[in-house]
């Protein structure tokens, strides 16, 4: 895994603080890449896998809201803000998400905060039903 630049870490820390959990928030994940001069950064709450009990293996999403004003404050400038309410098609890995485009320390950034973790990322937490305990995986 590539370590992010310091400005990306600071930016993600700020955006992560805008996530308001409504239950026990699973670990947050972040994917970033530099494409055609723009930093694409995706932030998401991982899923929790139930271990044991009648729902063994079931994956649960964390419930949270996002303080959009706090997210916007992380940007130097904001060019657009959008909410995608549903998956666009079968290949839309991000599904519902908040998108903000702008600049952060003079770097073009396209941020997405997804409502669910992309399927390609495994669970970030195990919940052990019998002992009612959790273990963060990442």
pLDDT per position as a tens digit, 27-45:
999 999 999 999 999 999 9
DSSP string, 7-39: HHHHHHHHHHTTEEESS-PPPEEEEEEEETTEE
Is 48 domain-assigned? yes
Is 1 domain-assigned? no
Is 19 domain-assigned? yes
pLDDT per position as a tens digit, 61-114:
999 999 999 999 999 999 999 999 988 888 888 989 999 999 999 999 999 999
In the predicted model, what is the mean pLDDT of the chain? 94
For 49, list phi and psi in degrees, rounded to 5: -95, 130
How far apart are the C-alpha atoms of 53 and 49, rounded to whole Å? 12
Q: How far is CA 38 from each of CA 51, 120, 126, rounded to the nearest angstrom?
A: 40, 23, 35
pLDDT per position as a tens digit, 46-57:
999 999 999 999
Residue 124 domain boundaries? 6-136
Domain count, the chain: 1
Angle (CA) 99-87-113 rounded to 5° is 30
The residues with which 66 forms a beta bridge, in sequence order, are 19
């Amino acid at each position: 895994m590539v370590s992010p630049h310091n400005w990306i870490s600071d930016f993600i820390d700020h955006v992560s603080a805008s996530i308001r959990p409504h239950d026990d928030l699973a670990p947050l994940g972040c994917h970033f890449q530099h494409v055609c001069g723009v930093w694409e950064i995706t932030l998401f709450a991982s899923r929790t896998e139930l271990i044991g009990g009648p729902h063994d293996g079931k994956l649960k999403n964390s419930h949270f809201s996002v303080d959009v004003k706090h997210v916007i404050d992380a940007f130097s400038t904001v060019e657009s803000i959008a909410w995608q309410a549903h998956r666009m098609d079968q290949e839309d890995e991000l599904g519902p998400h908040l998108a903000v485009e702008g600049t952060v320390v003079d770097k073009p950034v396209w941020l997405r905060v997804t409502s669910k973790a992309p399927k390609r990322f495994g669970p970030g937490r195990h919940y052990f039903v019998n002992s009612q305990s959790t273990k963060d995986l990442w």
